[in-house]
Amino acid sequence: MGTRSKPLPWWLFLSAMLLFSYKTQGADTLSAGQSLSRGQTLLSQGGIFELGFFSPGKSDNRFYIGIWYKNFVSRITVWVANRNIPISNRYPWELKIAKDGNLVILSDSKIIWSTDLPSNSSNTSSSLEAVLLDSGNFVLRDGAAVIWQSFDHPTDTWLPGAKLGLNKLAKQAQQLTSWRNSENPSSGMFSVGTDPNGSTQFLIQWNGSKTYWSSGLWNGQIFGLVPEMRLNNIYNFSYVSNENENYFTYSVYNISILSRFILDLSGQFMQLTWKDGEWGWILFLVKPRQRCDVYALCGAFGHCNIDQNLPMCECLQGFEPRSLEETSLSDWSGGCVRGTTLQCRNNTSDNGDQDGFIQMHSMSLPENPQSLPIGSAKECKLACLNKCSCTAYAYNGSGCSIWDGDLLNLRKFSDGDSGEQNFYLRLAASEIKGL
């Protein structure tokens, strides 16, 4: 008695860890019947990509299966299987080919991610295998037949050889969706893909709806609004259209040059290349070029600074970030919230000071104004004040605009640049007194 609850000696942990890392023997294939678990990885044949479990950032309870470049000190993740369903560290987990032929992630014996292919009793072939290729593609195949591939389900990265477009048979679009923040791969606000209406161009959208950049139509060599593509002799872009699918793909002429497109946290579509002997990734293309052209980058009541020397986003006067933790990880989608509740929202306010307005300078007008048939600045202000949901107004000498609810897509110009027009932001009286 007594020995049972004694902690295990440290060297036992150490040798267990060595054993685990020794087990990452660099195989590129997971065969039917095998499984990949903690500490184990697959390595593509030429040692370019690695696949395994990882945890981005500081969290030690959110794990993902992903693919990254093998030979970089800091991890550059190019694909995440279970981006929206992290694996908890509390239970054992594994990646394997299930009996029905699907590739699955099991945690606590439950399926938390699956390739979700239709299956029936004929799918029990023992020749099924999942292979990590040097292109960064993870392929489930039966002999020569590709049954599923990660290239058809991209995360935020587009690698040479992969397609971005529309599979007409499966009615499935391949698009890139940004990470939520630098430590969380779940789907963020921005996505890029080909025009769902079928024209040969890329569109970048906010929240799956608002288009804020388009590439212009493909003319066979370049996109209409991306003339820089003419200067390139590194990669070969092509468009393929047939009865089954429409897509763009690209290859690099010199395979020793690494290239990747990403949809960054900033909502910008970037192409980066890396050549042997060069220090770091070179930014080849970035669209839209100005970060403030990204729609609603700074969330509700936040504004984007056009001046690159200033922080990307800040809150409007009288507001503070909804989540300091998220904004510190470059995720401003939560925007900003009022420091002080408006009087019209707070029935218990006994001093009853009316809300007021401050003038916003050098700022673009917010999205979605409503026009009112009002002929003076004073009446325009009153119209806003008398409507509790009104958060701002502007009067331009001939017309009155008011805004209801969240103010979105604000851009702050450099000081001295007056912007389009001033508008007035509604704040609680106490916020204004302090100015």
Ligand X SMILES: *[C@@H]1O[C@H](CO)[C@@H](O)[C@H](O)[C@H]1NC(C)=O
**Half-sphere exposure of residue 177: CA atoms within 13 angstroms, side-chain side:** 18
Choose between 2 and 118: whose C-beta lies nearer to ligand X: 118
Number of residues interacting with ligand X: please give it, by CB under 6 A. 38
Among 25, 29, 88, 254, the residue binding ligand X under the rule CB under 6 A is 254
117 belongs to the binding site for ligand X (CB under 6 A): yes
Stretch touching ligand X by CB under 6 A, among 74-82, 152-160, 207-215, 307-315: 207-215
Query: 175: closest CA among 49, 263, 82?
Result: 263
| Phi, psi of 389, deg, nearest 5 | -80, -5
Give the footprint of ligand X on residues 134-193 (CB under 6 A): 147
124 belongs to the binding site for ligand X (CB under 6 A): no
Choose between 254 and 376: whose C-beta lies nearer to ligand X: 254
Stretch touching ligand X by CB under 6 A, among 47-55, 223-231, 321-329, 345-353: 345-353
Stretch touching ligand X by CB under 6 A, among 15-23, 76-84, 219-227, 348-356: 348-356
Among 349, 358, 383, 413, the residue binding ligand X under the rule CB under 6 A is 349
Among 70, 141, 168, 275, the residue binding ligand X under the rule CB under 6 A is 275
d(CA 86, CA 100): 23
386 belongs to the binding site for ligand X (CB under 6 A): no
d(CA 382, CA 404): 14
- Nearest residue to ligand X, using CB? 399
| Angle at 413 (CA atoms; ends 410, 415), nearest 5 degrees | 135
d(CA 186, CA 265): 11
| Phi, psi of 380, deg, nearest 5 | -65, -45
Among 3, 120, 233, 242, the residue binding ligand X under the rule CB under 6 A is 120
Is residue 314 within 8 A of residue 326, CB to CB? The reply is no
d(CA 2, CA 225): 75
d(CA 73, CA 230): 33
The Cα-based distances of 46 to 35, 74, 134, 349, 391 in angstroms read: 22, 20, 6, 69, 58
As measured in angstroms, the least distance from the Cβ of 240 to ligand X is: 8
Among 399, 404, 413, 422, the residue binding ligand X under the rule CB under 6 A is 399
Instruction: Report the interface residues with ligand X, using CB under 6 A.
Output: 100-102, 117-120, 122-123, 147, 195-197, 203, 207-208, 211, 236, 238, 254, 256-257, 275-276, 341, 345-351, 369, 371, 396, 398-399, 401
